[in-house]
Every structure is written in structure tokens, then in C-alpha cells.
Amino acid sequence: MKLPILSLTTILTLTFGGLQTAEAQTIPKEELIFLTSEWKGERFPDGRPKISDELVRRAREINIEEAWVVLKNEGYNCQFEGNWKIVHDDVVIAGRALTAQFMPSRPDIEKNIKDRGAKQGRIGNTNSWPIDMLGKGDVYVADGMGKIVEGTLIGDNLANSIYAKTGNGVVFDAGVRDLDGLSKIPGFNAFVRDFDPSYLKDAVVTGINTPIRIGRAVVLPGDLVLAKKEGVIFVPAHMVEKVVQTAEFIALRDKFGIQMLKEGKYTPGQIDSQWTDALKNDFLKWLDKNPNEIPMKRSELDEYMKKRTW
């Protein structure tokens, strides 16, 4: 059965009160499945694609540039965002996106949202609601309108809760507070627009587990989030395996190529051009001699290379 394409008005109606059985501010599970219909694998109870823990682990080691090239070649041109302030330069974030959208507060809307949330058992201010939904391996990604002063979505108390639930960090198009406290949470990281001592004010969550915009990037719930010093890339769930495999293969090629250049066996022009059969054979021999360099199963690599044009 084909699901209908819902208009923005219909989505907002469902989100803001047209579907009484939905959790506060979340889109219906059926709509999330529709929006991520390219994903054919397992899903979480909330409808998000469930990228395997193994792929998330491997993704942590790939380069953002290589992931970006794969996505761009497939037509995904709006998946990267840079210009962040970071708590720890050396702590990578990799996990599945749980998204939240914030908007400027308006008394009538905020009252309705909070009243419904209270009836459904929501506790505290709306910026804590997405945190209550987080699970292991999730990354809390929020569109906070780029607001910094009085746009601080979390401080160190909420950050400790987030890390306890996820073992991960956050990506906020917004500010955070308590940098000193955040920096003392081992393993936690935050990619934010800036740090500010102010409290959150005049902002309310209007969507949880809904498509959001982070700068020039589009993020869907369940996307792979990979955040490193150069920025954050959001990989659609159905593209993760291809992105990871391709990035891993390119990294192997680069390691081999650098070694060959150091040994003087090949020239830069040979390494950076279409590989000859002799070069390919030397690469295969190098793989046999260096099995520990291969981040995937050798059978998986062999299958991938059959499809590779080199």
C-alpha cells in the first residue's frame, strides 16, 4: 500500500495535536517510516532506522572528506555543516540521530505543548523531553535556530544525563552553557555554535524525531552522525554501508600508496592515476601481508573490490 505524501500543514496538524496517541511533538511513526523508506533494515520502536552497532563503530574511523565524496556522487549535496565550537577536539561523535526542532516561544503554543506533554507524562521544560527519549548510541541533534544568548539548550547537568543514556555527545545549532563542567565529562563532546552563561529562554520544542535543518544540512531521525574536528556529516541510513565500505577502501589504498611512494617503487603520477594491473597486483599482495590493516572482513573487501572500478 502506498502511503500518501503529506503536506506541511497536515504534518504540523498531526504534530501539534491532530493525533492524540502520538507522543508530544513527535511525528507519527508511519510518517517517519515513509520519509526514510529507502532504509530496508531493522527499525527502533519509534520508527527510526536502526543502523548496526558494527557499522557505527567502523564509521567512527573513516574520514569525513571520503564520506562527503560518496554522498555527493549519489546526489546528497546537503549533508555537511562546519563552523562549530567544540568541547574536545579529539573526541569523535558517531551514532544515530535523534532530532529536535526548537522555535521562538509564543504563549499560546507553548501552553498547549506543555499541557499536552504533562498529560502524557512529560516532565520539566521542553528542552529535556528529547533527552528522556535517548538510548545507547544515539546522538541528540537539535535545530535551536542558531540562538546562542538565551539559546543554551543544555548545561552540565543535562549533559551528564545525555552521556549516561547514550555514551555519546550532541550536535546543536544553538548554544550551551557550563563549558567547564562539560569538559569534565569523560567521553562526552558537543558541537555547538558557541558557549554562553545565559539560561535558555523564549524557546520551545516544536518537533521531536522530525526532519530538521542544521545549517546547510538536512537531518532525518536515524541518520548516521559523524562529527570530527572539521565538522559534522549526516549520512542517510540507507547510505551508511556504502559510505563506510568506500571510505575504508580509500583509506587502505592511501596507506598502500604512501608506503609505495616512500619506498620509491611508484611515482605520484602512477599512484594518483588509474591503476595498472601491476599496481593492482602489488596492492593485493600488500593486503595479504598486512591483514591487520583491513577494517572489514576480507571476504567483504574482496566482494567490494569486484565492483570497484579502481
CATH architecture for residues 50-236: 3-Layer(bba) Sandwich (3.50)
- Coil vs helix vs strand at 39: coil
Is residue 257 within 8 A of residue 244, CB to CB? The reply is no
User: How are beta strands 93-104 and 224-228 bridged, if at all?
Assistant: antiparallel
- Show pLDDT as tens, one digit a residue, over the chain (310 residues): 444 444 443 444 444 434 334 466 788 999 999 999 999 999 999 999 999 999 999 999 999 999 999 999 999 999 999 999 999 999 999 999 999 999 999 999 999 999 999 999 998 899 999 999 999 999 999 999 999 999 999 999 999 999 999 999 999 999 999 999 999 999 999 999 999 999 999 999 999 999 999 999 999 999 999 999 999 999 999 999 999 999 999 999 999 999 999 999 999 999 999 899 999 999 999 999 999 999 988 999 988 888 887 6
The DSSP symbol for 90 reads: T
Total-model pTM: 0.87
CA distances in angstroms from 309 to 76, 256, 270, 275, listed in the order given = 21, 17, 16, 10
Q: Is 108 left (phi over 0), alpha (psi -120 to 50) or beta?
A: alpha
Nearest to 100 by CA among 249, 9, 200, 242: 200
Supply φ then ψ for residue 277, to 5 degrees: -60, -35
CA dihedral 271, 247, 193, 141 (to 10 degrees): 170
Mark out the alpha helices in 21-140 (DSSP H runs): 29-35, 53-59, 64-73, 107-119, 129-132
For 191, list phi and psi in degrees, rounded to 5. -105, 110
| Distance between CA atoms of residues 173 and 176, nearest Å | 10
Domain borders along the chain are 50-236, 241-307
Q: What HEC string does 181-234 produce?
A: HHCCCCCCCEEECEECCCCCCCEEEEEECCCEEECCEEECCCCEEEEECCEEEE
What pLDDT, on the 0 to 100 scale, is given for residue 14?
44
Residue-level pLDDT at 308? 80
